[in-house]
Chains A and B, each alone.
Chain A
Amino acid sequence: MTSAHAESVNGSLPHEPEKATLEGRNKVLGFWLFLGGESVLFGTLFATFLALRNQTNDGPTAHELFSLPTTAAATLILLVSSLTSVFAVQAMHRHKAAALRLWLIITVILGLGFLGLEVYEFHEYVTAEKFGMTTSAFSSAFYTLVGFHGAHVAFGVCWIGILIGQLYKKGLTVVTAPKVYVSAMYWHFIDVVWVFIFSVVYLLGKVG
């Protein structure tokens, strides 16, 4: 096995530093597998939501609740953050540590913006619309599915935030590169999940 930190000196960093060591390659593969499991997790949550989405128990319905402009703004923010995380990985492949950090910071800020909108949305539902976890089977399924996604975004924001700190302290090395790469994979995954939430929960609720 190659010793990881010995190759961290700038200049000798390979083109794809995330795949330079066996540990790095294992991490990427293991993370793909983990995302396979995550797909089943969200698949089950989606199935639950689809089964219960019309069970409103005389509470607010999807059509009454959702506002597409707010959700569209959240979608736009999250999609752009996925793009910026692509730029971050491209900067990493060009060994531009400063650009990498900058794109990651922008990704985190966009992620926080998305979370802010979601917290605002949930707050409105609970206070103004009297739509809480216990209102109906629809509300339980809605908060669980969208909340699971929101928790994933929050975890991702903290994770990438910590990685930015590590990049400042340790620089771009064959140890930090796989971490950045798998966090970007994670970020894309929760972005894809959001696309499905936007379609299945919001669009279908509004027009379906």
Chain B
Amino acid sequence: MAHAHSVKRHTGLMDWLTTVDHKKIAILYLLAGGLFFGFGGVEALLIRLQLIKPMNDLVSAQTFNELITMHGTTMIFLGVMPVIFALMNAVIPLQIGARDVAFPFVNALGFWTFLFGGILLNLSWIMGGAPDAGWTAYTPLSTSTYSTTHGVDFYTVGLQIAGLGTLIGGINFLATIITMRAPGMSFMRMPMFTWTSFITSAMILFAFPAITVGLVLLSFDRILGANFFEVSNGGNPVLWQHIFWIFGHPEVYILILPAFGVISEVIPTFARKRLFGYSSMVFATILIAFLGFMVWAHHMFTTGLGPIANALFSIATMLIAVPTGIKIFNWLFTMWGGQIRFTSANLFAIGFVPTFVMGGVTGVMLASAPADYQFHDTYFVVAHFHYVIVGGLVFGLFAGLHYWWPKMFGRVLNETIGKWTFWFFAIGFHLTFFVQHFLGLMGMQRRIFTYLPNQDFDTLNLVSTVGAFLMAVGVLLFLFNCFMTAAKPKGVANDPWEDGRTLEWAIPSPPPEYNFKQIPLVRGLDAYWKEKMAGNKEMTPAEPLGSIHMPSPTILPFVMSVGIFIAGLGLMFSSEKFNNSFMSMIFNNWIVVIIGLVITFGSMLLRSLFDDHGWHIEPEELEEEGVKA
């Protein structure tokens, strides 16, 4: 038997910096993601304020470019991705009946690298100007010839670091879902959210390395004077577009699939019916992921790839409507004949369905290459992708947060405020973006910082800005709800919605750090519901009560990420001319980069040299806790 290793238990801040517990990492992801979501939201409001009337001069053209670039980049990479990871961390190990993820250390590392990448990117605001070449950073606009500040360097290095965190997070969830499922939980018994997260993780694995390379090439062009995108020296700017979208298109499915999963959990729970067409749902998810890799050039119809490429990518894009349509009908048929409860979570889930359909319809319109020549770079495109990303993904995230909040924090969010949140956000959303379809069709280009009066743009832009502020009120109501709920005492039931179907509702809210005292035996799809229907109050255990092995907390993931952060800053300013000779010495001789890399690789070495034996929770302690509870 194992030696009893005593392990240092940290409290307070150190507990959060050293945690490897997936439930705490979920909360860290949620806090950090929420913070960046706030930044992105303020940027969005400033954009809308600038466009509230023609010839407005609230911000300069340069600042406007920085705002749109940072709004897109922040929202996608630093806002919604971490909130998705928050839900995945909070829920997946519980849904598959596991005590933790496959790689707790890597899980923590993924969070800290994401956070430091995000901080680096946002430091650009106070360190000489934010990136200004659009979230797609198209070359040659983003090369050092046309973008002379360090803004795009912050973009390449910051995203590189944040992307590394996402990649290792994806690997962790793939391995977790493959190896850590409880006995009896076959792949075709996995809850839909686990399935979509599994597919999303696979997409992360195969999509993110492409942007890694793209960002490396752009950094090399900007920092080392390489010629990948320098036409005068033989480079090719269209190469960037290909690499970016080979990553970028799968990325939008990486974002939306987990939302599909959330909706597939929330709707059956509150319709008190099993999900209609579970297996078709699984295969639709896989098909969407597969097709998602085949359609990147539909972002490049106007680049001039020729009619054959455009036709093929056009057809492939339209094909995605088929599996997506399957999902929409499955959700509708799940609700059909169910006993629907309109909780806040379910309002967001039901609101998701028509909103996402509207985004899908404009998607098929855009997929038609000849029509896209008209739509391209207009507000029609802006309306389309906000319908799928905000109306789809963000609605899904709000549904998921309201739904799993009691499981994460042990307190139910206030339902009245939750419903106000929904109505403000939903009405504001449609006001903001519905009119943008027409602005686009009338010829208003995206990314322009102002427009002339009397083109019929004035009223619609005003409506759009008013809508944006209604959405902001919705978000503030949600924040108020979070704080108000946090002040209440803990103590909700295991299954606060009373109709929970999956394993996470079979254990306390919030779960103890080992999740399951005994790993449960899974006897079918919707494992917990099945036991309830059989008259059982809890899951049948698959193992006797025994000693539980836990990984030790460690500061190394945090230190490694600090090292990468320092190295990233050093790389960006390696050829900068400083007034201060000490600064020149340490930056221009790559000393800062070396220090950062020594910290990171040194931490890796420490991790390798000193084995983590973990620690054990003994059955007696489990019994005591049971008595206390």
C-alpha gap A26/B101 in the complex (Å): 10
* Closest chain A residue to B213, Cβ basis: A44
C-alpha gap A33/B224 in the complex (Å): 31
- Among B178, B207, B225, B605, the residue within 8 A (CB) of A134 is B225
> Is there an interface contact between A57 and B175, defined as CB atoms closer than 8 Å?
no
- Among A3, A6, A137, the residue within 8 A (CB) of B228 is A137
- Among B1, B103, B230, B233, the residue within 8 A (CB) of A3 is B1
C-alpha gap A133/B225 in the complex (Å): 7
Q: Let me know if A55 is at the binding interface, CB within 8 A.
A: yes
Q: Let me know if B549 is at the binding interface, CB within 8 A.
A: yes
C-alpha gap A126/B453 in the complex (Å): 58
Residues in A with CB closer than 8 Å to B212 are: 41
**Which of B179, B221, B225, B234 is the most central at the interface, judged by chain A CB atoms within 10 Å of its CB?**
B234
Residues in A with CB closer than 8 Å to B613 are: 3-5
> Is there an interface contact between A57 and B611, defined as CB atoms closer than 8 Å?
no
Q: Let me know if B235 is at the binding interface, CB within 8 A.
A: yes
C-alpha gap A52/B220 in the complex (Å): 15
Distance in angstroms from B247 CB to nearest chain A CB is 9
Q: Let me know if B172 is at the binding interface, CB within 8 A.
A: yes
Q: Let me know if A29 is at the binding interface, CB within 8 A.
A: yes
> Is there an interface contact between A37 and B2, defined as CB atoms closer than 8 Å?
no
Q: Let me know if B508 is at the binding interface, CB within 8 A.
A: no
Q: Let me know if B227 is at the binding interface, CB within 8 A.
A: yes
> Is there an interface contact between A133 and B179, defined as CB atoms closer than 8 Å?
no
> Is there an interface contact between A6 and B2, defined as CB atoms closer than 8 Å?
yes
> Is there an interface contact between A162 and B235, defined as CB atoms closer than 8 Å?
no
Q: Which of B172-225 contact A (CB under 8 A)?
A: 172, 174-175, 178-179, 205-210, 212-214, 216-217, 220-221, 224-225
Distance in angstroms from A23 CB to nearest chain B CB is 9
C-alpha gap A141/B226 in the complex (Å): 9
Q: Let me know if A36 is at the binding interface, CB within 8 A.
A: yes
Residues in A with CB closer than 8 Å to B611 are: 4-5, 170, 175
Residues in A with CB closer than 8 Å to B608 are: 162, 166, 179
Q: Let me know if A38 is at the binding interface, CB within 8 A.
A: yes
Q: Let me know if A130 is at the binding interface, CB within 8 A.
A: no
Report whether over half of chain B's contact residues are helix, strand or loop; otherwise say mixed.
helix
C-alpha gap A1/B611 in the complex (Å): 16
> Is there an interface contact between A55 and B103, defined as CB atoms closer than 8 Å?
no
C-alpha gap A44/B3 in the complex (Å): 48
Q: Let me know if A90 is at the binding interface, CB within 8 A.
A: no
C-alpha gap A5/B3 in the complex (Å): 9
> Is there an interface contact between B233 and A30, defined as CB atoms closer than 8 Å?
no
Q: Which of A37-93 contact B (CB under 8 A)?
A: 37-38, 40-41, 44-45, 47-48, 51-52, 55-57
Known: A133-B225, A134-B224. A3 touches B209 (CB 8 A): no
> Is there an interface contact between A44 and B609, defined as CB atoms closer than 8 Å?
no
C-alpha gap A170/B228 in the complex (Å): 47
Q: Let me know if A107 is at the binding interface, CB within 8 A.
A: no
Residues in B with CB closer than 8 Å to A135 are: 227
- Among A33, A45, A179, the residue within 8 A (CB) of B174 is A33
Known: A37-B209, A45-B213, A137-B235. A52 touches B228 (CB 8 A): yes
> Is there an interface contact between A3 and B208, defined as CB atoms closer than 8 Å?
no
* Closest chain A residue to B232, Cβ basis: A57
Q: Let me know if B167 is at the binding interface, CB within 8 A.
A: yes
> Is there an interface contact between A52 and B179, defined as CB atoms closer than 8 Å?
no
> Is there an interface contact between A137 and B227, defined as CB atoms closer than 8 Å?
yes
C-alpha gap A4/B1 in the complex (Å): 10
* Closest chain B residue to A137, Cβ basis: B234
C-alpha gap A186/B249 in the complex (Å): 29
* Closest chain B residue to A1, Cβ basis: B549
Residues in B with CB closer than 8 Å to A3 are: 1-2, 549, 613
C-alpha gap A22/B221 in the complex (Å): 44
**Which of A1, A136, A162 is the most central at the interface, judged by chain B CB atoms within 10 Å of its CB?**
A1
- B-facing mask of A97-135, CB < 8 A → 1, else 0? 000000000000000000000000000000000000111
Q: Let me know if B555 is at the binding interface, CB within 8 A.
A: no
Residues in B with CB closer than 8 Å to A1 are: 549
Interface size class of A (residues with CB under 8 A): 35 or more
> Is there an interface contact between A136 and B103, defined as CB atoms closer than 8 Å?
no
> Is there an interface contact between A57 and B227, defined as CB atoms closer than 8 Å?
yes
Residues in B with CB closer than 8 Å to A187 are: none
Known: A36-B205, A57-B233, A137-B235. A30 touches B175 (CB 8 A): yes
Distance in angstroms from A6 CB to nearest chain B CB is 6
Q: Let me know if B239 is at the binding interface, CB within 8 A.
A: yes
Q: Let me know if B246 is at the binding interface, CB within 8 A.
A: yes
Known: A134-B224, A136-B233, A166-B609. A30 touches B102 (CB 8 A): yes
Q: Let me know if A34 is at the binding interface, CB within 8 A.
A: yes
Q: Let me know if B300 is at the binding interface, CB within 8 A.
A: no
> Is there an interface contact between B243 and A48, defined as CB atoms closer than 8 Å?
yes
Distance in angstroms from B530 CB to nearest chain A CB is 27
Distance in angstroms from B546 CB to nearest chain A CB is 10
Known: A26-B102, A30-B102, A144-B216. A37 touches B235 (CB 8 A): no
Known: A36-B206, A45-B213, A134-B227. A30 touches B234 (CB 8 A): no
Known: A26-B175, A33-B175, A162-B608. A55 touches B235 (CB 8 A): yes
> Is there an interface contact between A26 and B220, defined as CB atoms closer than 8 Å?
no
> Is there an interface contact between A55 and B210, defined as CB atoms closer than 8 Å?
no
Distance in angstroms from B369 CB to nearest chain A CB is 23
C-alpha gap A64/B568 in the complex (Å): 36
Q: Let me know if B417 is at the binding interface, CB within 8 A.
A: no
Q: Let me know if A25 is at the binding interface, CB within 8 A.
A: yes
Known: A5-B613, A44-B213, A140-B220. A52 touches B2 (CB 8 A): no
Distance in angstroms from B171 CB to nearest chain A CB is 5
Residues in A with CB closer than 8 Å to B103 are: 26, 30
- Known pairs A6-B1, A55-B234, A140-B226 / 14 extra A-B pairs, C-beta < 8 Å: A5-B611, A26-B175, A29-B175, A30-B172, A30-B175, A37-B171, A44-B209, A135-B227, A137-B233, A138-B234, A140-B227, A140-B228, A140-B235, A162-B605
Residues of B participating in the A interface, judged by any CB pair closer than 8 Å: 1-3, 102-103, 106, 167, 171-172, 174-175, 178-179, 205-210, 212-214, 216-217, 220-221, 224-228, 230, 233-236, 239, 243, 246, 549, 605, 608-609, 611, 613
- CB<8 Å pairs between A and B, sample of 24: A3-B1, A3-B613, A5-B613, A26-B179, A29-B178, A30-B102, A30-B172, A30-B175, A33-B171, A37-B171, A37-B205, A37-B209, A40-B209, A41-B212, A41-B213, A51-B236, A52-B236, A133-B224, A134-B225, A134-B226, A134-B227, A137-B227, A140-B220, A166-B609
> 3 tightest CB-CB pairs across the interface, nearest first?
A55-B234, A3-B2, A137-B234
